[in-house]
Amino acid sequence: MNIFITYGSAVILVLLGTFLSYIEFLNDTDWLARCGSMIVVMGILYTILEFYEHQYDHITLKRQAPNLYADIKHEHKHLEEKKVKIWKKNAEELEDEIKNGLEKKTMKHEGILLMTGTFIWGFGDLPFKLIF
């Protein structure tokens, strides 16, 4: 899922909630809080979609990894066994680094969306009740 679309949707929801609360749409000022709950839902959906996307990528990498050793050995018959094992080890380390990096990125964006949405959900009605 594209993070720009997710954050853009969250900003649009905040603006829409602010506008609807400001004009007291349906005689209610809690629209910003409701939009905050929608941002929480978006954060959860983002996490679920990213999880499945990463699982697919991980399964694809795992499917290709057993063939890596055979491919390197077949293509480079003149290489020593020791060098081939080093290449395989480096490829596995790179795979782990990519996986860990993607997980950290997903967790960061998930946290931002969930914390922001929960904060707006909990306190989004206060500005309109105190000011207006």
Residue 29 is classified by DSSP as S
Would you state the structure tokens that stand for residue 2, as one six-digit string?
């594209």
pLDDT single digits (tens) 43-100: 888 888 877 776 666 666 666 656 665 666 566 666 667 776 777 777 778 777 877 7
Whole-angstrom distance, CA of residue 70 vs CA of residue 84: 9
Residue 77 is classified by DSSP as T
Rounded (10°) CA dihedral 101, 107, 108, 113 = 150
In this structure, the number of other CB atoms found within 10 A of the CB of residue 68 comes to 16
More confident residue, 75 or 29: 29
Would you state the structure tokens that stand for residue 30, as one six-digit string?
């809690």
In the chain, where are the structural domains located? Answer: 3-131
pTM of the model: 0.63
